[in-house]
Structure 1
Amino acid sequence: MRYWLRILHDFGHINPKEFVSSFYLSYHGFHVDAKKAILAATLNATSRSFSGFVLVLYLASLGYTLRDIGLITSIGLMCGAASLLPSGRLADYLGRARAMVCSVFLSIFGTVIYIFSNSFFTFVLASSTMGIADSMYGPAYSALLSNKVSDKRRNYLFGAERFSTMVGSTSAIFFAGLVPDILEKSGYTLGLGFRIVLLISIFVLICEIPFLYNIADRDNADELENLDGGSYTQPSLEKVKDYKTESKEDYIVENIIDDKRIDKKEKGKERFWILDKESTSYIAKYTFANSLIAFGAGFVIPFMQLYFTIHYKAPMAIVASVFSITSLLMAISYLLVPKLAERIGSIRTIVFTQGVSIIMLIAIPLSYPYFTLAAIFYLVRTVLMNAASPIGTSYILGCVKKNERAFAASIITLLYNVSNSLSPPISGWIMANYNMDIPFFICALFYMVACGAYYFFFENKDRK
């Protein structure tokens, strides 16, 4: 109780004028490569939202059961998990932008299979291909973006990235729910509408490729960022050579140059699959809590569209509108949360927002049969649960060495995907044979344990 009161006390001492006045400066002046990366990720997220929203509904319209859909989803996640470690480490050595390009082509291939096939085994192949594509893209992108900004402004860059991707996702989800409905009312089959949405997702992916080819795959954190968040002028060669001084400015230069020199000197000694001991400790603690979140989420998140359309009998267009509004509010929250994390701490922000979201999650099944009430609880829950996501990513990547970040992100995503892939078949079976509400309470239980783990492992360090 004392912990929550302390957080509320810190919220009450936020000066609104200072908050607003520093807001613009916090998101101004990012490196041009960071902007290109965010634009590419926005297109990728838009494409995934087009396909992701309709795929479950598409498979259901073809006659597949909840158990089949859960199995197809689970196999895809497992295949993605199996490829995470090699793809993350190779991205560190061969280039993050190249790995992202390969991921885009694999996503296109998997979507094409979904469009032009109609068998369980080909859908498993498509799901597996797209799972591998996601495993290549996510860690490579996180590492690429984290190396385009200073440590102090990393939260803001990840917040800007999530805002941009959620705006793209919002528009995609809205149209993904609208297009099939319009075509069905015009006399066409619902399946045709879903396939057209999948074709649109392919087109968006193709538009992403030129941006990825124009991103320099190097560390830019020392070029345009300083400790105050402004424009940083790269030091002259003479100043770089004489970096061993006691001044604050030259200490910054010393850290930058020393980091690069160590990378070159120690590169031959690095073991391909081994992380630094301190990095391993951080990753192990973070992935434990993150995996609990993933396992719990697998009981509910893959089935939300079907839950609303089957359990509450809500029209698909209305469900799409709810999802779109939720995405838009999430986008706004991604811009606001970094400032709160700067004020009250990253871990306290994560625990507070996710803790409150658990209450909203439990309220969703208790709202039956009132869909409007359930939709409001879903909206608040989703915004709060995901608002601190970029803060968590930024926090843990800031705890590991720069040359280990893609591999570290791969490990985190691997364990997340493995945990997330285990629960959908279980949830599908429970929903089909017992009750569609039970998975919500199971999910809430795992979320509560995860919040406790975040607090136990990281609160002391966050306070420092």
Structure 2
Amino acid sequence: MKSIGGVQAPLLVLAALNGLSFGVIVTVLAPYMYSAGFSGTEWGLLTSTATVTSIIFTLLSGPLSDALGARRVVAAGYIVKAASFTLLAVPSTVFMAAGFTLSGVSMGISWSATTALVARSGRDEMLHRSFTFFMASNMVGGALGSLMGVIPPLLSSITSLTLLEAYRATILLVAPLSLLQAGIALAVREEVSAEGRASIGPGELLRGFREAVSDRRFRLLILFNMVIGLGASMSIHNIAYYFAAKYGVTSAEIGVVNALEQVSMALVAVGASRIAERVGSTLKVYIALTSLSVPLLVAMTLVDSYVVAAAIYVVRTVLMNAANPLLEALTMRVVPRERRGSASSILSLSFTLPATAGRAIGGALLDINLELPLRLTAAIYTLALAHLYMRRRFLEEGRAWGSRRVAGELLEEARAPQ
């Protein structure tokens, strides 16, 4: 099967299409709901519905990926996503709630299964590349999808459609992409032996979770992910609504910002992966980049220009997220390959559980003070990264790839053409 940089081509196509559809939705959804009259509190409650419903399906997704294969579970998630997009195109509370509910189901099914699929798509020593290239491809697709934010204002100006109707039409346009993604997911080769597959049942489910969390480093990384998830959900997940409310921008302006963010993130992510290979530590690179992003969160709240705020936001987001594949690779390496589905469920839950409360809290805070969620997030990130830095040696000892000793042994192989 053809590969690019050692990563399967179908996996990269899947990532690009996922980024495309997500880029459109994340760009259009907030101004769409704002123009439909939904308040910040309603925005927060409705979006948190998705995180609530994702919890149950996230619990099932990982073990099912271990038993049935991750690619099948990923395909099922994209089919559900197509239905959720269709419902979200109806601007009524009932249909929006149903759409966000199915969105949560889709997120729960496919998120952890996708992580497991990437973690089992190639050799362990090259996982940092698998996660990095997957993310980079996703970001490029996300940039194209974000640029499609110009469609609603353009469609409204050249037709008789109102801006609200144009938003609805754009959302409906991307629903079929999810069905295409379901087919592509089935084409990915998943490297796990039949003997390594888990069985299905409550006992096996609990056993999978227990074995996944047996490593203390994995438990520490999960705790860190929970804190980051809380901070991100309070402000960053609501950022489009923040921009629409503070500056009165439409999806066109938000789309351009998202596109710049996605392309920049893809480039920096690939660079971060190469730096990690040279430095011999995935964690050092991750901490260095993310720490630089925190002061920029506060800086966003001190300006009154959308152009300036958007520029700061792009730099902040790139620094905070470009190194995420390095942390994911480190997290997955401390878990046995046959239990990475269960581990990815735990990893997903560690982010979505605090995000359930965080989105609702952040949405309510937007109605009180637009700047407060960003400032609280900066404080939360600071505490979390400081703790991670203090535990860095423990996290990269032994069989963790990030240790200088192991990375040095693999460096020459990593440089070899794939």
Alignment TM-score > 0.5, same fold = yes
Report deviation, 1:461. 3.8
3-state SS, counterpart of residue 206 of structure 2? coil
Is 1:283 equivalent to 2:218 in the alignment?
yes
Deviations along 1:228-278, one digit per CA (max 9) or x if unpaired, are xxxxxxxxxxxxxxxxxxxxxxxxxxxxxxxx698489999x843233276
The partner residue of 1:338 within 266, 273, 287 is 273
Q: Residue type matched to 2:99 in 1?
A: A
Kindly indicate whether the alpha-carbon contact (under 8 Å) linking 1:283 and 1:412 is maintained by their aligned counterparts in 2: no
1:337-376 pair list within 5 angstroms: 337-344=272-279, 345-367=281-303, 369-376=304-311
Q: Residue type matched to 2:98 in 1?
A: L
> For 1:277 and 1:377, how far apart are their aligned partners in 2?
38
Kindly indicate whether the alpha-carbon contact (under 8 Å) linking 1:279 and 1:401 is maintained by their aligned counterparts in 2: no
Report deviation, 1:170. 0.2
Distance 1:264 1:61, change over 3 A: closer
The partner residue of 1:392 within 327, 343, 359 is 327
More off after superposition, 444-453 vs 203-212: 203-212
Report deviation, 1:103. 0.4
Kindly indicate whether the alpha-carbon contact (under 8 Å) linking 1:279 and 1:399 is maintained by their aligned counterparts in 2: no
1:64-75 pair list within 5 angstroms: 64-75=38-49
Distance 1:307 1:441, change over 3 A: same
Distance 1:284 1:184, change over 3 A: same
Distance 1:317 1:278, change over 3 A: closer
Counterpart of 1:439?
373
Distance 1:35 1:305, change over 3 A: same
Kindly indicate whether the alpha-carbon contact (under 8 Å) linking 1:50 and 1:200 is maintained by their aligned counterparts in 2: no
> For 1:63 and 1:288, how far apart are their aligned partners in 2?
37
Report deviation, 1:313. 3.4
Moved beyond 4 Å, runs of 4+: 264-268
Distance 1:92 1:332, change over 3 A: same
Counterpart of 2:245?
310
Report deviation, 1:39. 1.0
Counterpart of 2:262?
327
Report deviation, 1:29. 5.1
Counterpart of 1:14?
none
Report deviation, 1:446. 0.9
Is 1:62 equivalent to 2:50 in the alignment?
no
Deviations along 1:343-402, one digit per CA (max 9) or x if unpaired, are 3311111111111100111111112x1222212211110000001111111110011000
Q: Residue type matched to 1:149 in 2?
A: G
Distance 1:425 1:166, change over 3 A: same
Kindly indicate whether the alpha-carbon contact (under 8 Å) linking 1:347 and 1:459 is maintained by their aligned counterparts in 2: no
> For 1:110 and 1:261, how far apart are their aligned partners in 2?
33
Counterpart of 2:63?
89
1:152-191 pair list within 5 angstroms: 152-175=125-148, 177-186=149-158, 187-191=160-164
Note the aligned Cα RMSD (angstroms).
2.3
Distance 1:75 1:392, change over 3 A: same
Task: Give the structure with higher Rg (CA).
Answer: 1
Is 1:128 equivalent to 2:101 in the alignment?
yes
Distance 1:134 1:373, change over 3 A: same
> For 1:456 and 1:406, how far apart are their aligned partners in 2?
29
Kindly indicate whether the alpha-carbon contact (under 8 Å) linking 2:294 and 2:382 is maintained by their aligned counterparts in 1: yes
Kindly indicate whether the alpha-carbon contact (under 8 Å) linking 1:334 and 1:388 is maintained by their aligned counterparts in 2: yes
Deviations along 1:3-51, one digit per CA (max 9) or x if unpaired, are xxxxxxxxxxxxxxxxxxxxxxxx95526xx221221122122112212
Deviations along 1:432-459, one digit per CA (max 9) or x if unpaired, are 1x21011111001111111123223333
Any stretches of 5+ residues in structure 1 without a counterpart?
A: 1-26, 220-259
* TM-score, length-scaled by structure 1: 0.79
Q: Residue type matched to 1:30 in 2?
A: G
Report deviation, 1:280. 4.4
Kindly indicate whether the alpha-carbon contact (under 8 Å) linking 2:146 and 2:255 is maintained by their aligned counterparts in 1: yes
Distance 1:319 1:150, change over 3 A: same
Report deviation, 1:312. 2.7
> For 1:265 and 1:61, how far apart are their aligned partners in 2?
48
* TM-score, length-scaled by structure 2: 0.88
Distance 1:305 1:261, change over 3 A: closer
Counterpart of 2:316?
381
More off after superposition, 118-127 vs 290-299: 118-127
Q: Residue type matched to 1:185 in 2?
A: S
Deviations along 1:271-312, one digit per CA (max 9) or x if unpaired, are 432332764423321111111111011111222122223213
Distance 1:113 1:38, change over 3 A: same
Q: Residue type matched to 2:288 in 1?
A: F
Distance 1:170 1:133, change over 3 A: same
More off after superposition, 152-161 vs 270-279: 270-279
Report deviation, 1:207. 2.4
> For 2:147 and 2:241, how far apart are their aligned partners in 1?
16
> For 1:424 and 1:180, how far apart are their aligned partners in 2?
26
The partner residue of 2:72 within 91, 98, 116 is 98
Q: Residue type matched to 1:342 in 2?
A: E
Identity of aligned residues (%): 23
Deviations along 1:316-368, one digit per CA (max 9) or x if unpaired, are 4223211111111011112111112223311111111111100111111112x
1:398-437 pair list within 5 angstroms: 398-432=333-367, 434-437=368-371
Deviations along 1:36-80, one digit per CA (max 9) or x if unpaired, are 122112212211221222122222221111101100011111110
> For 1:213 and 1:437, how far apart are their aligned partners in 2?
44
Distance 1:62 1:399, change over 3 A: same
> For 1:384 and 1:40, how far apart are their aligned partners in 2?
24
> For 1:28 and 1:42, how far apart are their aligned partners in 2?
14
Is 1:151 equivalent to 2:124 in the alignment?
yes
> For 2:54 and 2:185, how far apart are their aligned partners in 1?
21
> For 2:101 and 2:197, how far apart are their aligned partners in 1?
37
Report deviation, 1:314. 3.9
> For 1:261 and 1:216, how far apart are their aligned partners in 2?
13
Distance 1:331 1:144, change over 3 A: same
